[in-house]
Amino acid sequence: MKRIAVPLEGLLLFEPQVFGDARGFFQETWNQRTYGPLGLSAEFVQDNLAFSQRGVLRGLHFQNPHPQAKFVYVLQGEVFDVAVDLRQHSPTFGQWFGEYLSAENRRQLYIPPCFAHGYVVTSETCLFAYKCDDYYNPTTQHCIRWDDPAIGIRWPIEKLILAPRDASAPCLKDLPAQNLFP
């Protein structure tokens, strides 16, 4: 298992060990005894799976109260995955980190609570898996505009497919302060 340094405190990027031969491969996608010593000690309570086509952008989503940490990876295809720091007193508040996650590179990203999360599918189709450390709560879910100029995410796809809620989401500066994290 390899942990890769990232610029936002709390985010963890992993490159798991894969054992392959002529029959195929084997990979552990989660093992607390392996990830725990590398800084990931979350207790996950919900697993989710999303299938999308090229250009689908999901996000930028977060919950408050009941923030969710997420552990994300791709089973088929590729995404450009993004996390945005929403901790108001963090030196990296409003900054983003993006990484290509794919079935080929098998990289996994841990997004701690108090971050917004989103991704865009860069392959023809994608099967995206993620674990959450708290349950989905639609009454506390919020969204930030995917193209907020103050955040400045450089998405690698120009023609995007968005849910109406994501397309009309407010910019970070327009969110009520109580929706963010102290």
Q: What is the pLDDT of residues 127-179, one digit of tens each?
A: 999 999 999 999 999 999 999 999 999 999 999 999 999 999 999 999 998 99
- Which is the catalytic residue, given 73, 130, 135, 136? 130
- Total domains present in the chain: 1
CB-based contacts of 77: which residues, under 8 Å, 6+ apart? 102, 103, 121, 122, 123, 124, 125, 126, 127, 128
Residue 37 backbone phi and psi in degrees, to 5: -65, -15
Intervals of the chain under pLDDT 50: none
- Which is the catalytic residue, given 35, 61, 119, 135? 61
Is residue 61 annotated as a catalytic residue, yes or no?
Answer: yes
pLDDT at 182: 87
Is residue 130 annotated as a catalytic residue, yes or no?
Answer: yes
pLDDT at 133: 98
**Model's pTM, two decimal places?**
0.95
Query: Token pair for residue 91?
Result: 């030196």
CATH number of the domain within which 155 lies: 2.60.120.10
